[in-house]
Copies of this chain bind each other. A is one copy, B any other.
Amino acid sequence: MNKAVEDKIKELKSYLSKIEYLGSALAVFSWDDMVNAPKKAVEYRSRVTAYLAGELYKLKTSDEVKKFIDFFDGVKDELDEVITAALDNLKREYYQTKKIPDDEYKEYTKECSVSLAAWEEAKNKSDFNIFKPHLKKIVDFNKRFVEYWGYEGNKYNALLDNYEPGITTEKVDKLFVEMKDGIMDVLNKIKKSGYTPRIDFFTKRFTKEEQEKFSKIVLKKMEYDYEKAGRIDEYMHPFTTNFGNKDVRITTFYDENDFRSALFSCIHEGGHAIYEQDIPDDLQGTLLNCGVSMGIHESQSRFYENIIGRSKPFWKYFYPEATKMFKQFEGVSFEEFYNGINYVEPSLIRTEADELTYGLHIIIRYEIEKMLINDEITVDELPKVWNKKYKEYLGVEPSNDAEGVLQDMHWADGSFGYFPSYALGNLYGAQFLNKMKKDMPNVDKDIESGDLSSIHNWLKDNIHKYGAVYKPSELIKKVTGEELTSKYFIEYIDKKFGKIYYK
């Protein structure tokens, strides 16, 4: 590599570091907003957030960025994999934002915050009409953005690409149809089996302190370093955030009348957190020092939450721990406990769904988003379409909009294209599991003995250590040798739930 290129790379890294620093400052500010900030500060803080976000936007779309892109375009052959990926990433974001007229984007972010407030009110009053005019605007903005950005094939591709770069609507269509059929097949077999696990013992009283203690035991076993490189705090809606790889924080919510709620949210967020803690230091200054996509991120959190956290080997180790700590489980057998953890029941609320039916909630949202963007339905028709799909896929029907179309905030803040990530995360996860079991045939034994480090090491070596260097589609192929498929997930759910319910 010649000296001029080397110097320019140093310059680039120093520039991208600034973006990382400001991003971290904004992230700390947002975390503080949710976890700490007093009520009266809301208005002032929203102005600070807008300012920081604006400055971050400026850094990402500056003339300097354009100059970096132009320079490196001329010396492509001299760049290594990481710098090439960093530039692809930078370029993608630069042109995506540049294609939207500045004023329109400003108007959009303003409308998003108005729309969020309207959604909140609408949800509280369970009245879709309050939210409708705002959602219409948000959808229209997104449709225009799709045109600005351009697309091949389905218009929805342009949105999907923001969250899961490289995947297409055509591929997701196929995956989700298979996934839906697979889930509904298992669900029908479960219904026919007539078996219903006991879950009464989970809804006794569990103090916050007890729950916190138990969650921490699990998180420690998972090797999430919350002591020296993280924190656990409380927030209504659990989330993970990070400022670099050495300060990765999770939040959880303790429901004192349910043993499962905080525990599984901690395991889920712990999965996200481990991913970020494992990102190598040397990806700093590339903007690739983070999880590669929402879908891969969800694959990690769901891997821990479901594939590990709701598995038999896991509870073989933790059931004795749990019964030791909680008198509430006296007289509950291991089988009862394990089956209860895997209780399946179609329900109305996505965030409360069980492992099996969760995907159907996502597929419904995906189908609706696609239709909206392609003008196949209108915003006015949303509640009707929503309720019909819930009836059809899950066999349940919302009695009001709050427990139906208004339940999620994603559309209110314009996150069209985001929902599929959750279900893709399930598919990635099962495919990773398949490969992991081939690489480590005895992994279940490790889990049974409370040793989760082999899993962690496998995930670190195969996924985490790459940060965002490879696109999701590249990564899954690199790790498993195959493109993303629904096969392993369908096998997994049939095998797992079959054993509990119908085999």
A contacts, CB < 8 Å to B: 17-18, 21-22, 24-26, 28-29, 31-32, 36-41, 43-45, 47-48, 51-52, 225-231, 243-244, 246-247
Across the interface, A41 reaches (CB within 8 A) one of B22, B52, B244, namely: B244
Most chain B beta-carbon contacts within 10 A, residue among A32, A36, A247: A247
User: For A52, what are the chain B residues with a Cβ–Cβ distance below 8 Å?
Assistant: 21-22, 25
Contact (Cβ within 8 A) A246 B38? yes
Is the CB–CB distance between B21 and A47 below 8 Å? Answer: yes
**Those 10 A-B pairs whose CB atoms lie nearest each other, nearest first:** A41-B247, A40-B246, A21-B51, A44-B244, A40-B229, A41-B246, A21-B48, A39-B228, A40-B228, A24-B48
Residues of B close to A36: CB separation below 8 A: 231
This chain: copies in complex = 2
Whether the pair B48, A25 counts as a contact (CB closer than 8 A) is yes
Q: Name the prevailing secondary structure of the A interface residues.
A: helix
In angstroms, Cα B103 to Cα A385, docked, is 65
A22 near B38: Cβ-Cβ < 8 Å: no
Residue in chain B with minimal CB distance to A26? B25
Cβ B38 vs Cβ A247 within 8 A: yes
A25, A26, A45 — which one has the most chain B CB atoms within 10 A of its CB? A25
Collect the chain B residues with CB atoms within 8 Å of residue A21's CB: 47-48, 51-52
Mind listing 17 A-B residue pairs with CB under 8 Å?
Answer: A18-B51, A24-B44, A25-B25, A25-B51, A28-B29, A31-B32, A38-B226, A38-B227, A38-B229, A38-B247, A39-B228, A39-B229, A40-B225, A40-B247, A41-B243, A41-B247, A44-B246
Q: Is there contact, CB below 8 Å, between A230 and B38?
A: yes
Q: How far is the CB of A250 from chain B (nearest CB, A)?
A: 12
CB distance from A150 to the nearest CB of B (A): 35
- Chain B nearest CB from A286 CB (Å) reads 15
Is B44 within 8 A of A243, CB to CB? yes
Pick from B32, B40, B246: contact of A32, CB under 8 Å: B32
